[in-house]
Amino acid sequence: MDYLQALILAVIEGLTEFLPVSSTGHMVIASSFMGIGDDDFVKLFEVAIQLGAILAVVVLYWKKFFDFSKWQFYIKLIIAVIPALFFGFLLNDFIDNTLGNPLFIAVVLLIGGFVLLFIDKFFKAQTIESENDITNMNAFKIGCFQVLAVVFPGLSRSAATIIGGMQQKLTRHAAAEFSFFLAVPTMCAATGYKLIKGYHLLNTENVKLLLFGNIIAFIVAIIAIKSFIGFLSKHGFRIFGWYRIIIGVVLIALYYSGVEMNVL
């Protein structure tokens, strides 16, 4: 992996981590087309640079994360993250195998796109407008939706948790924000686990690439988060649904037309 490839992956991560289009799916597809998808460090890089995107959430919502008087906020995040941690650890080998299969990810992108086309019609009369009104049970159920994204790469952690939030009567705005908050413990745990497993890959040059990728992902994610909240509140999910369908169809067509992707 060189710095140009690291830049491309980091920009993709920053743009897509908080959009319901699957950042992991996009990075796996991109690395596959660049011919680096089967490299162990690249797989580590794709997870580890999520820290940069997550840091963007902490910076933008620093008042929320560092208001220790509202301890219930942290309890809700802990409760919500438990299902993903449990199943992520239990199904780690299965997840690693599916991450190496762009065709699987393309199919999940396509199916998820059709879901997003109609999601605004499924959930109406949303009543919860703030995380202060989210109960511990609401948080746990949203966390269970997040498990779907852990088990099926390409589904999108953001999409799963936002849909889970709306199913629990959160408004689109409230569901998106709680999805951002929940990403912090979830991705910190995933990154930490991946770094421990891949510690032997962290030579000086690779550490520099990780630092570079995290900085780029952080900058791009700040822009993406600010744009996404306003867009989602006004326009809903349909455009993201069509985007996923188009990308999924194109990737499946490329596969069956014989175009080589490095890890297929």
State the Cα–Cα distance between residues 19 and 6, nearest whole angstrom.
20
41 touches 198 (CB < 8 A): yes
Q: Residues 58-103: pLDDT tens digits?
A: 999 898 888 888 889 999 999 999 998 888 878 777 776 666 677 8
Longest dimension (CA), the chain: 58
pLDDT of residue 241: 92
**Number of Cβ within a 10 Å radius of residue 232:** 20
Q: Shortest CA distance to 165 belongs to which of 184, 188, 181?
A: 181
Q: What are the residues facing 128 on neighbouring strands?
A: 170
Arithmetic mean of pLDDT over the chain? 86
- pLDDT category of residue 262 using cuts at 50, 70 and 90: very low
Q: Residue 170 phi/psi, 5° resolution? A: -75, 145
d(C-alpha 236, C-alpha 234), whole Å: 6
Non-local CB neighbours of 235 within 8 Å, separated by 6+ positions:
none
Tell me the per-residue pLDDT of 98-153, one tens digit each, with 9 for 90 and over. 666 778 888 888 999 998 888 877 877 778 888 888 999 999 999 999 998 888 87
Q: What global pTM score does this model have?
A: 0.84
Q: What is the pLDDT of residues 197-229, one digit of tens each?
A: 888 888 999 999 999 999 999 999 999 888 887
Domain-wise residue ranges, the chain: 3-256
For residues 138 and 261, give the distance between their C-alpha atoms in angstroms, rounded to a whole number: 41
Model confidence band, residue 264 (pLDDT cutoffs 50, 70, 90): very low
Give the integer Cα–Cα distance in Å for 101 and 153. Answer: 9
